[in-house]
Amino acid sequence: DTEVTQTPKHLVMGMTNKKSLKCEQHMGHRAMYWYKQKAKKPPELMFVYSYEKLSINESVPSRFSPECPNSSLLNLHLHALQPEDSALYLCASSQVGRGLANNEQFFGPGTRLTVL
Protein backbone atom coordinates (compact mmCIF):
# COMPACT_ATOMS: atom_id res chain seq x y z
CA ASP A 1 0.00 0.00 0.00
CA THR A 2 1.72 3.16 -1.22
CA GLU A 3 -1.16 5.52 -0.66
CA VAL A 4 -1.88 8.43 1.61
CA THR A 5 -5.60 8.94 2.11
CA GLN A 6 -7.31 12.12 3.28
CA THR A 7 -10.86 12.76 4.41
CA PRO A 8 -13.01 14.58 3.68
CA LYS A 9 -12.29 15.57 0.07
CA HIS A 10 -14.23 18.80 0.43
CA LEU A 11 -15.26 20.73 3.53
CA VAL A 12 -17.31 23.87 3.89
CA MET A 13 -17.43 25.42 7.34
CA GLY A 14 -18.47 28.61 9.06
CA MET A 15 -16.13 30.72 11.14
CA THR A 16 -17.63 29.42 14.40
CA ASN A 17 -17.50 25.74 13.49
CA LYS A 18 -15.11 23.08 14.77
CA LYS A 19 -14.04 20.45 12.27
CA SER A 20 -11.18 17.99 11.73
CA LEU A 21 -9.21 16.83 8.71
CA LYS A 22 -7.89 13.30 8.73
CA CYS A 23 -4.91 11.66 7.05
CA GLU A 24 -3.87 8.01 7.06
CA GLN A 25 -0.96 5.99 5.66
CA HIS A 26 0.07 2.35 6.02
CA MET A 27 3.56 2.51 4.55
CA GLY A 28 5.29 2.41 7.93
CA HIS A 29 6.42 6.01 7.55
CA ARG A 30 7.32 7.75 10.80
CA ALA A 31 7.26 11.33 9.50
CA MET A 32 3.99 13.02 8.57
CA TYR A 33 3.35 16.53 7.31
CA TRP A 34 0.60 19.08 6.86
CA TYR A 35 0.87 21.58 4.01
CA LYS A 36 -1.44 24.40 3.00
CA GLN A 37 -1.77 25.28 -0.67
CA LYS A 38 -3.50 28.38 -2.01
CA ALA A 39 -4.57 28.51 -5.64
CA LYS A 40 -1.70 28.79 -8.12
CA LYS A 41 0.88 28.70 -5.30
CA PRO A 42 3.28 26.03 -4.03
CA PRO A 43 2.45 24.07 -0.88
CA GLU A 44 3.51 25.79 2.35
CA LEU A 45 4.65 23.64 5.23
CA MET A 46 2.55 23.90 8.40
CA PHE A 47 3.57 21.04 10.69
CA VAL A 48 5.90 18.05 10.79
CA TYR A 49 5.55 15.06 13.07
CA SER A 50 8.46 12.70 13.56
CA TYR A 51 7.87 9.50 15.53
CA GLU A 52 4.47 10.88 16.58
CA LYS A 53 6.04 13.98 18.12
CA LEU A 54 5.63 17.48 16.74
CA SER A 55 9.04 18.48 15.41
CA ILE A 56 8.25 21.53 13.27
CA ASN A 57 5.53 24.16 13.67
CA GLU A 58 5.95 26.87 11.05
CA SER A 59 4.38 29.62 13.17
CA VAL A 60 0.89 28.44 12.35
CA PRO A 61 -2.00 30.22 14.14
CA SER A 62 -3.46 28.34 17.09
CA ARG A 63 -6.81 27.96 15.32
CA PHE A 64 -5.05 25.04 13.58
CA SER A 65 -4.24 22.23 16.00
CA PRO A 66 -2.45 19.10 14.77
CA GLU A 67 -2.61 15.71 16.40
CA CYS A 68 -0.80 12.45 15.68
CA PRO A 69 -2.61 9.74 17.67
CA ASN A 70 -0.47 6.91 16.25
CA SER A 71 2.11 6.23 13.57
CA SER A 72 -0.52 5.83 10.83
CA LEU A 73 -2.84 8.74 11.55
CA LEU A 74 -2.55 12.51 11.42
CA ASN A 75 -5.34 14.92 12.23
CA LEU A 76 -5.73 18.65 11.84
CA HIS A 77 -8.33 20.19 14.14
CA LEU A 78 -9.87 23.44 12.95
CA HIS A 79 -11.60 26.04 15.10
CA ALA A 80 -12.63 29.65 14.52
CA LEU A 81 -11.12 29.80 11.05
CA GLN A 82 -11.11 32.85 8.83
CA PRO A 83 -12.14 33.05 5.15
CA GLU A 84 -8.47 33.50 4.20
CA ASP A 85 -7.83 30.00 5.56
CA SER A 86 -9.72 28.59 2.58
CA ALA A 87 -7.21 26.43 0.69
CA LEU A 88 -6.22 22.89 -0.25
CA TYR A 89 -4.75 21.11 2.77
CA LEU A 90 -2.29 18.40 1.84
CA CYS A 91 -0.97 15.61 4.02
CA ALA A 92 2.28 13.81 3.24
CA SER A 93 4.40 11.09 4.77
CA SER A 94 7.95 9.85 4.48
CA GLN A 95 10.50 7.70 6.18
CA VAL A 96 12.77 9.36 8.71
CA GLY A 97 16.55 9.39 8.75
CA ARG A 98 19.65 10.48 6.91
CA GLY A 99 19.66 7.84 4.22
CA LEU A 100 19.14 9.07 0.68
CA ALA A 101 16.35 6.58 0.12
CA ASN A 102 14.38 8.13 2.93
CA ASN A 103 13.73 11.45 1.27
CA GLU A 104 10.66 10.82 -0.83
CA GLN A 105 7.42 12.31 0.42
CA PHE A 106 4.13 10.75 -0.58
CA PHE A 107 1.23 13.16 -0.80
CA GLY A 108 -2.46 12.59 -0.29
CA PRO A 109 -5.07 14.08 -2.65
CA GLY A 110 -5.85 16.88 -0.24
CA THR A 111 -8.93 18.34 1.43
CA ARG A 112 -10.35 21.43 -0.22
CA LEU A 113 -11.52 23.68 2.59
CA THR A 114 -13.86 26.62 2.18
CA VAL A 115 -14.47 28.92 5.15
CA LEU A 116 -17.58 31.08 4.88
Instruction: Kindly list the residues in this chain that would bind other proteins in the complex (CB under 8 A).
Output: 6, 31, 33, 40-43, 45, 48, 50, 55-56, 88, 90, 92, 96-101, 103-110
94 vs 45: CA distance, rounded Å: 14
To other proteins, the closest distance from the beta carbon of 103 in angstroms equals 4
- Nearer CB in complex with other proteins: 3/61: 3
Radius of gyration of the chain (CA): 14
- Nearer CB in complex with other proteins: 79/109: 109
Residue 73, amino acid: L
54 vs 78: CA distance, rounded Å: 17
Q: Are residues 66 and 75 in contact, defined by beta-carbon separation less than 8 angstroms?
A: yes
- Nearer CB in complex with other proteins: 82/114: 114
To other proteins, the closest distance from the beta carbon of 16 in angstroms equals 28
To other proteins, the closest distance from the beta carbon of 18 in angstroms equals 25
Q: Are residues 65 and 79 in contact, defined by beta-carbon separation less than 8 angstroms?
A: yes
- Nearer CB in complex with other proteins: 15/56: 56
Length of the chain, in residues:
116
